[in-house]
Amino acid sequence: YDAGSPILNAITGADSLIYFASNRKMIAINSKNGTKIWSYGADGTIECRPAIEDDKIVFGSWDTKVHCLNRFDGTLLWKWNEQTSFYYAPAACWPVTTHDRVFVSDPARYMYAIDLEDGTTIWKSKSPETWESIGISERLNQVYIRSLDGNLYAFSTTSNSQQQLWSAPVGYGWDSTPSMPVGVRGAVISGGKNGFIVSVSQENGQIGWKYWVSHSYVTTVAPVDGASVLAAALDGTIMLVKADPSLAVGQSDQILLPFKTKLGPVYPNPFNNIATITYSIEGSQEVRIQIVDLLGRNILSVKKYHEQPGQYQWIWNGKDSGGQELSSGLYIVRMNSKNYIGTNKLVFLK
Size of the chain, expressed as the number of residues it contains: 350
Q: What is the pLDDT of residue 216?
A: 81
Cis peptide before 107 (omega within 30 of 0): no
Identify whether the C-beta of residue 97 lies closer than 8 Å to the C-beta of residue 86.
Answer: no
- 208 forms beta bridges with none
Evaluated on CA atoms 98, 47, 121, 168, the torsion sign reads positive
Q: What is the pLDDT of residue 176?
A: 84
Q: Which residue range forms the structural domain that includes residue 293? A: 262-348
**Domain shared by 76 and 99, yes or no:** yes
Which CATH number belongs to the domain containing residue 285 in this structure? 2.60.40.4070
**Domain shared by 92 and 147, yes or no:** no
Rounded to an integer, what distance in angstroms lies between the CA atom of residue 205 and that of residue 207?
Answer: 6
**Domain shared by 12 and 113, yes or no:** yes
| CB count in 10 Å sphere of residue 247 | 15
Question: What's the pLDDT tens digit per position in 230-278?
Answer: 999 988 889 898 876 655 444 334 444 456 788 887 878 888 878 888 8
Question: What's the pLDDT tens digit per position in 160-213?
Answer: 999 999 999 988 888 888 899 999 888 999 998 888 899 999 999 998 888 888
- For residue 253, report the phi and psi dihedrals to the nearest 5 degrees: -110, 25
**What stretch of H or E contains 147?**
strand 142-147
Could you tell me whether strands 207-212 and 255-257 are parallel, antiparallel, or unpaired per DSSP bridges? parallel
Residue ranges, the chain, pLDDT below 70: 226-227, 244-259
What order do you get walking across the sheet with 222-225 strand by strand?
222-225, 228-232, 238-241
**Domain shared by 104 and 52, yes or no:** yes
32 dihedral zone (left: phi>0; alpha: psi -120 to 50; beta): alpha
Rounded to an integer, what distance in angstroms lies between the CA atom of residue 145 and that of residue 136?
Answer: 9
**Domain shared by 294 and 249, yes or no:** no
Could you tell me whether strands 298-306 and 56-60 are parallel, antiparallel, or unpaired per DSSP bridges? unpaired
Side chain identity, residue 24: R
Identify whether the C-beta of residue 254 lies closer than 8 Å to the C-beta of residue 206.
Answer: no
Identify whether the C-beta of residue 8 lies closer than 8 Å to the C-beta of residue 21.
Answer: yes
Q: What is the pLDDT of residue 255?
A: 44
Which CATH number belongs to the domain containing residue 217 in this structure? 2.40.128.630
Q: What is the pLDDT of residue 175?
A: 84
339 dihedral zone (left: phi>0; alpha: psi -120 to 50; beta): left
Q: Structurally, how many domains does the chain consist of?
A: 3
- 257 forms beta bridges with 211
Q: What is the DSSP string of 151-211?
A: -EEEEESS-SS--EEEEE-----S--S----EEETTEEEE--TTSEEEEEETTT--EEEEE
Identify whether the C-beta of residue 347 lies closer than 8 Å to the C-beta of residue 332.
Answer: no
Final residue in a domain of this structure, among 107, 126, 145: 126
**Domain shared by 219 and 314, yes or no:** no
Identify whether the C-beta of residue 176 lies closer than 8 Å to the C-beta of residue 131.
Answer: yes
**Domain shared by 8 and 118, yes or no:** yes
**Domain shared by 198 and 145, yes or no:** yes
